[in-house]
Amino acid sequence: MNTITLGELTVSAQGLGCMGMSSVYGAADWDESTRTIRRALDLGVTLLDTAAGYGDGHNEVLIGRAIAGRRDEVQLATKAGLSYARGKVSLNGAPDHLKASCDASLLRLGVDVIDLYYLHRVAPDVPLEESVGALADLVADGKVRAIGLCEIDGDQLRAAHAIHPITAVQSEYSLWWREPEQTLVDVARELGVGLVPFSPLGRGFLTGALSADTLPADDTRRALPRFADDAMAANASLVEAVRAVAATHDATPAQVALAWVGAQSDRLGIPVVPIPGTKRVHRLEENAAAADLQLSEADLNALDGLGAPGRGRPLLNRARRSVHREPDDRFPVAITPDDAPDLLLLCAREVR
């Protein structure tokens, strides 16, 4: 697979999002997930994306075991600042917490250094500069090679970059969700920061395989307004348009959607490395093949019009989110550094 430069890192043109391997999108199988990770490395997909908060540490343990003996083939990206403690989700950008979380991640992953370390979310009660300063300290300590931020806007990126160079920003971005083009891309281009899109397949919607009938009852997407029955029905024509382009290339809708995202590196003028998530080998192979799919300018222009900001059906981006999220029932008062030992206990737990 071709590679892309993110700051001082050289990564595969497409990464692998591993969140779903820890029962976020329905049940997951440890052995199949392990096979998927190892097959990714065989195919040259070397950027693996995880987080301390995925499965209460399960995800990092899984990845650490899957890459044993192959560390030199991998660029590991993980995150801190969004934590699960005593059954609640909370944001914590306190420097002590971020540093303790990094130590715990290193142990769970079984590595000496993390290639790309993200602040998972900006905590509303901690100045961004303090959180970024802690990540900079981790770089200076040799525990982290590069740092990134998740779900931020251009002003926040500029403020963070003034503290320490930011290698990448991770945001949702796909044909179905174009918000970063309005809020982030111009500043990223100016500062030389890459974009790592999560959910480049529109949380699976752009595969054409999802419907109200096929989405598992325990799937977290059922809580999203975009996956309400009326929203999915209203957006069905978007999938059909992607399917039509796919037919001209003997490709799948998922491959076309991923190829569109990959093509944005040249069109936006910044490195763009999508990280589609899967927990199955056959889906990984389908996704990875998209890195070789070349869409024509006519294809790209036709697809652009489907999900361009400000166009299309009102339900297209029905669930708009603010990057300045205030505390609510999902994100209560942030946990304190006193909770860090709970994270460290995960390192010794047998997770399967």
Which residues are annotated as catalytic?
54
Size (the chain), residues: 352
What is the C-alpha separation between 252 and 257, in angstroms, rounded?
9
Which is it for strands 88-91 and 82-85: parallel, antiparallel or unpaired? antiparallel
DSSP H or E stretch at residue 79: strand 75-80
Name beta bridge partners: 49: 17, 77
346 and 57 Cβ atoms separated by less than 8 Å:
yes
Question: Do 319 and 238 contact (CB within 8 A), yes or no?
Answer: no
Cα–Cα distance between 298 and 255 in angstroms, integer?
17
Q: What are phi and psi of 195, to 5 degrees?
A: -115, 130
Q: For residue 90, what are the CA distances in angstroms to 217, 252, 266? A: 25, 38, 37
Q: Which amino acid, 45?
A: V
The dihedral built from the CA positions of residue 49, 288, 197 and 189, taken in this order, carries a sign that is positive
Question: In degrees rounded to 5, what are phi and psi of residue 183?
Answer: -110, -10
Report the greatest alpha carbon distance in the chain.
57
Q: Rounded distance, CA 221 to CA 55, Å?
A: 16
Note whether 48 and 74 are within 8 A (CB): yes
DSSP state of 252: -
How far is the C-alpha of 59 from the C-alpha of 21, rounded, in Å? 7
